[in-house]
Amino acid sequence: MTTLAGTLTLSDDLTISRMGYGAMQLAGPGVFGPPRDRDEAIAVLREAVDLGVTHIDTSDFYGPAVTNELIREALHPYPEGLHIATKVGARRGNDGSWIHSSDPADLVAQVHENLDHLRLDVLDIVYLRLETLTPNDGFIDKSLAEPFGALAELRSQGLIRHLALSGASEAHLTEAQGIAPVVAIQNFYNIVKRDDDAMVERTARENIAYAAFFPLGGFTPLQSDALNKVAARLGASAQQVALAWLLQRSATTVLIPGTSSRVHLRENVRAAELHLPADALRELDAIAAQ
């Protein structure tokens, strides 16, 4: 079902479905602890692959370790062509708090934990999760040379195939590219939240995947009368229209919507079949200016 969204080739050994799946919601409330329904979580992962998804986004700090262990249980040995992207750069407190952690020694430990919990010898894509103020407040202007350099060294050792950045400014991307190739950026972006337009355009020019996180608004679901009206006219859900808009936003935009429900998974994946006509795009493009 993902064929209409197509695939994106980022290197000779990395082609991913543009419609991916984000595993964050498989963990418990607050992305902490075990899932509410373990059997359903396993079923969601297996059905995502059955539907043609070849790009799964995860991290060992989801849970922590919960989503990676679920992925391993559901999908190992992994099907040929399936690519798992993970993130390092954070830890979880005993209370579920998110703790920035980009010390090079700890990044090495985090990479090995991801390898162990996913039962892999090499990680396809590793994002360095950068410290940000909040998704809404923007980026911290701080050099990433030391932490990204540590990951580049692991890449040279063969433990990582490709490197990526999460929560990154254009200056961060430029600095990282001076150290090692960057295949993907993962930033907060959706039909309402457009602050990262320049990065979307740049990644398209440079054939870098742009994975929009919170494509449906995240913990604050998207609310827009214009979105609802377009969806009603097209006979689709507002969520499907928002995802389809992202797919048509640029040729290198990839989606990683998350869900812990097979019903919602199928609805999300069907967005790959939805083509937005020019008049709908004009209405949707105007939402951010409202």
Catalytic residues: 62
137: buried, middle or exposed (CB in 10 Å: 19+, 13-18, 0-12)? exposed
Pairing of strands 7-11, 14-17: antiparallel
Rounded to whole angstroms, how far apart are CA atoms 74 and 114?
16
Q: Cβ distance 34 to 27 under 8 Å? A: yes
Between CA 82 and CA 92, with CA 88 as vertex, the angle to 5 degrees is 120
Q: What is the DSSP string of 170-214?
A: HHHHHHHHTTS-EEEEEEE--SS--TTHHHHHHHHHTT-EEEEES
Rounded to whole angstroms, how far apart are CA atoms 290 and 283?
11
Q: Which of 89, 69, 107, 113 is nearest to 168 (CA)?
A: 89
Rounded to whole angstroms, how far apart are CA atoms 211 and 94?
29
Phi-psi region of 22 (alpha: psi -120 to 50; beta: other; left: phi over 0): beta
223 three-state secondary structure: coil
Rounded to whole angstroms, how far apart are CA atoms 92 and 99?
6
Q: At residue 155, what are phi and psi to the nearest 5 degrees?
A: -65, -40
- Start-to-end CA distance of the chain, whole Å, equals 34
Q: Considering Cα of 197, then 162, then 17, then 115, what sign does the dihedral take?
A: negative
